A and B are shown apart, each in its own frame.
Chain A
Amino acid sequence: MESWHRGRSLGDRLLLLAVMLLAIAWIAPIVWVVGLSFKPNEVLMRSTGGIIFPPFTLKNYTDILAASSVFGWMANSAIVAVGQTVLTLVIASLAGYGFARTDFPGRRVLFVLLLAALAVPEQAVIVPLHTMFAQAGLHNTYIALIAPRLAFPFGVLLMTQYFRAIPAEIEEAALLDRASRLKVFWRIVLPLSIPAQATLGIYTFLHAWNDYFWPLVSATKPEMYTLTVGLASMQTNFAQTEGIGFLMAQAVFAGLPVLILYLFFQRHIVSAVAGGGAR
């Protein structure tokens, strides 16, 4: 790290200034939108200037609490996200342990297959997947929303890597302690992998919560809309809309859970996303 190298030179000060300006540019849209959500719609129809001046109102938020479908969308998103997270953790942990620590016929080949599957983007399978679920009559169900992402190899690869890093000696000691393979997994290895579970869990939850394309084409009935789809459905007649304040309030409302999660679990989220991106 270069921190000790850093002095109070002019270059350093300019650098800091540049970064600060960028940071302001980054926060500006969010702050602006939050500010707008506290202004009455009528005022906004005319102009959006004068954010920091009154009038302010909480009406946009009370409207949400009263009548908006945001809650329904959130509930759907929550069910899908939790379901996908739990199932992914179970399936990926089992498979990760299998690949990392046990030997079976075809292990190498299957692992290479896994790595190859990483390269497949969502769009290459979304059309046929949609057709398959349509034939099975499974659209507009939670199953359809939860299932497809379970096949993504990232989770298995993450858990495989993590299990490999656990010293083999510990498992060997357990084998010598007369534990069966399953017991070694359940009582020794799994508890030790909780950090990886947390990372994978948060990563999966976030992606499930923010997923757009698949819910868009699979959850076509309004009562099955997830948060992303529901929010997008409100964005149609934008320029003419009378409810800019209301819209912004909905955006703030929708973004709040994730941002709160982020502030509490930032370290986990960052490492999860970085790990995911690095694949």
Chain B
Amino acid sequence: MQETKVEQKLAKPVSRKTGPSYLVVFIVLAVLTGLEIVVSQLPIPRAPILIPMAFIKVALVALFYMHLRTDRRLFAMIFVIGVLVGITLILTFAVLFSTQTGGV
């Protein structure tokens, strides 16, 4: 009886394609990239706009193309921890070296 249940579970197809279609995600990514290019040419502080836009694009790719939105939470946790440690590393070094001057 238990074996039958397991086999039924194995045979059950996983529907990955939920929410917006891949094409819609691509269009959003392309539009955001276009906007980033436009913003980069404007005489305004760009980092506060461009960095969040890049993070939105990264999130779209991870959630929809890498299926973290519908896949196991464990995979998302592992990846997000890696990314967060990476961001911490970048920020820490940026702050540590921000007071130093000179170059090679």
* A and B held together in a complex: no
Q: Which residues of B contact A (CB under 8 A)?
A: none
Q: Which residues of A contact B (CB under 8 A)?
A: none
